[in-house]
Amino acid sequence: MREPSEGLRSPTATAWSVFLCAMIGLALAACASQPIAPDKAVQYKRVGLLSAMGDQFEKTLIGVTVFGNDYSTERLDLGADRLLTKNAVRELSTRYDVVDLSRYRGPFLDAWSEPSNRTSQMVPEVVRRLMGAEGLDAYILITPRGAPVRGTRLGIGGIGIAKREGLFGTMGTWFHLAYDIRVVDGTDYALVAEMPALPVGETELSVLAVFHAPVGAPFVHAWSDLWAQPSMHQTEIMAMLDQLAERSLPETLRRAALID
């Protein structure tokens, strides 16, 4: 694998723009997944990999009524993209010569901040414009995905924590890592595969990788503390990200027909 020169600049996003991204994800979550065609998979030898989840950590509060809902984001340097890159390279290297494209993360995230560039039609054009000079057989992207919360009109996306309140207190707390794997052909720049993250565990959050608080988060002593001050619990958050990537990413790549 070729080592990159890191360019980890992330754009500053407002809470409203990230919320808009999550709501756009409500429509995306309903789309059928598309694995790569077998004839395409065998043609690819040298592929590029770019993880572009960014550094936004979101908090979503689901109230008993709409008036109790709340949403906010903050920037946390959790190293999520480095972690996902490491895990994806380990899996993909069994079949491909993988080129780490992390140096394009900053420009790609700048483009991703425009909602029009997140569509299936525009993503290949962004790849061609930013990375086409690499001359690779294919480009594999890991990008944030939005997903609905069942029984509500709320959506979540990317990396963050969601809490649902009931009449008698908190009903549940979830940590989420919601992403898509997309594959863009390096010859005609067509989108040839798109696969949502494999869910981890059964929760009210659908079409994404999640940890249900009582089961999958032994590192967090008090979820209320993490909710109140995520920046003070980055070690615990990174540990949960690591477990989610370990459990979700290989099977998601397998479902996308990128590995055996």
Q: Which residues contact 155 (CB under 8 A, 6 or more apart)?
A: 22, 23, 25, 26, 29, 146, 147, 148, 149
Token duo for residue 110: 């700048």
Looking at the domain assignment, is residue 231 inside a domain?
yes
pLDDT-above-90 percentage for the chain? 37
Looking at the domain assignment, is residue 6 inside a domain?
no
pLDDT tens profile 1-53: 443 333 333 333 333 333 334 333 433 444 457 899 988 888 999 999 999 99
Q: Count structural domains, the chain.
A: 1
Looking at the domain assignment, is residue 2 inside a domain?
no
pTM of the model: 0.79
Looking at the domain assignment, is residue 163 inside a domain?
yes
pLDDT tens profile 61-110: 888 888 888 888 888 888 899 999 999 999 999 999 999 999 999 999 99
Looking at the domain assignment, is residue 3 inside a domain?
no
Tokens 């550094």 correspond to what residue?
55
Q: Which residues on neighbouring strands pair with residue 157, listed in sequence order?
A: 146
Q: Which residues contact 235 (CB under 8 A, 6 or more apart)?
A: 219
CA distance 213 to 170: 12
What is the total residue count of the chain? 260
Q: Domain span at residue 140?
A: 15-254
**∠ CA 148-151-157, rounded to 5°:** 15
Looking at the domain assignment, is residue 35 inside a domain?
yes
Looking at the domain assignment, is residue 4 inside a domain?
no
CA distance 230 to 26: 25
